[in-house]
Structure 1
Amino acid sequence: MFTNPLEIVKIRLQVQGEVAKSIEGVERRSAMWIVKNLGLVGLYKGASACLLRDIPFSAIYFPGYNHLKRDFFGESQTKKLGVVQLLTAGAIAGMPAAYLTTPCDVIKTRLQVEARKGETKYTSLRQCARTIFKEEGFQAFFKGGPARVLRSSPQFGFTLAGYEVLQKILPMPGSESEGPSVGGHAEPAVGLQKATAPLPYLRSRNALKIILDLDESFGMPKTPMGKGWMPLSGIRS
Structure 2
Amino acid sequence: MPRRSALWIVKNLGLLGLYKGASACLLRDIPFSAIYFPTYSHMKKDWFGESETKKLGVAQLLISGAIAGMPAAYLTTPCDVIKTRLQVEARKGETTYRGLTHCASTIYKEEGFKAFFKGGPARILRSSPQFGFTLAAYEVLQNVAPFPEHDADDLSGLNKKAGILHGAGLGDLSGDMPWVRSRNALKIILDLDQNFGRAKVKPTEEEWKRIRGLGGI
TM-score for both structures, normalised by structure 1:
0.63
Task: Please state if 1:128 is matched with 2:103.
Answer: yes
Aligned 1:26-105 pairs, distance under 5 A:
27-30=2-5, 32-105=7-80
Aligned residues of 2:69 and 2:127 also touching (Cα < 8 A): yes
Distance 2:3 2:85 in 1: 20
Q: Say if 2:153 is the partner of 1:175.
A: no
* Inter-partner Cα distance in structure 1 for 2:154 and 2:37: 23
Contact 2:10/2:16 (CA < 8 Å) preserved in 1? Answer: no
CA shift digits 1:158-183 (9 cap, x unpaired) = 000000000011111232138989xx
| Matched letter for residue 46 of structure 2 | D
Residue by residue over 1:45-67, the C-alpha shift from the partner in whole angstroms, topping out at 9 and shown as x without a partner, is: 11111100000000000000000
What secondary structure is seen at the aligned counterpart in 2 of 1:174?
helix
Counting matched residue pairs gives 162
Distance apart, 1:140 and its partner CA: 0.2
User: 1:214-234 CA distances to partner (integer Å, 9 max, x unpaired)?
Assistant: xxxxxxxxxxxxxxxxxxxxx
Tell me if 1:166 matches 2:148: no
Q: TM-score, normalised by structure 2?
A: 0.68
Unaligned runs of 5+ in 1: 1-15, 17-26, 182-187, 192-198, 200-237
**1:214 corresponds to:** none
Give how far 1:31 is off.
5.2
Structure-2 separation of matches of 1:103 and 1:113: 16
Higher-Rg member (1/2): 1
Q: Displacement of 1:39 after TM fit?
A: 3.1
- Taking the aligned partners of 2:72 and 2:33, their CA distance within structure 1 comes to 8
Residues 141 and 179 (structure 1), Cα distance of their counterparts in 2 relative to 1, 3 Å cut? farther
The answer for the alignment partner of 2:172 in structure 1 is none
**Equivalent position SS for 1:80:** coil
Distance across 1 between alignment mates of 2:119 and 2:61: 26
Q: Is the counterpart of residue 110 in structure 1 residue 107 in structure 2?
A: no
Q: Distance in 2 between matches of 1:137 and 1:145?
A: 15
Of residues 145, 151, 166, the one that matches 2:126 is 151
Q: What is the one-letter code of the residue matched to 1:176? A: D
Structure 2: segments with no counterpart, 5+ residues: 164-174, 176-217
Q: How many angstroms apart in 2 are the aligned matches of 1:77 and 1:167? A: 15
CA distance in 1, matches of 2:23, 2:15: 15
Higher fraction of helix: 2
- Contact (CA 8 Å) 2:74, 2:120: kept in 1 or not? yes
Separation in 2, partners of 1:126, 1:179? 53
Q: In structure 1, what is the Cα distance between the partners aligned to 2:112 and 2:43?
A: 35
Rate the CA distance shift 1:134–1:81 in 2: closer, same or farther, 3 A: same
Q: Against the structure 1 CA distance between its residues 143 and 179, is the aligned structure 2 distance closer, same or farther, given a 3 Å change threshold?
A: farther
Q: Deviations over 1:19-54 (max 9, x none)?
A: xxxxxxxx5444543454443201111111110000
Give 1:155 shift: 0.3
Distance in 2 of aligned mates of 1:41 and 1:178: 49
Identity %: 77
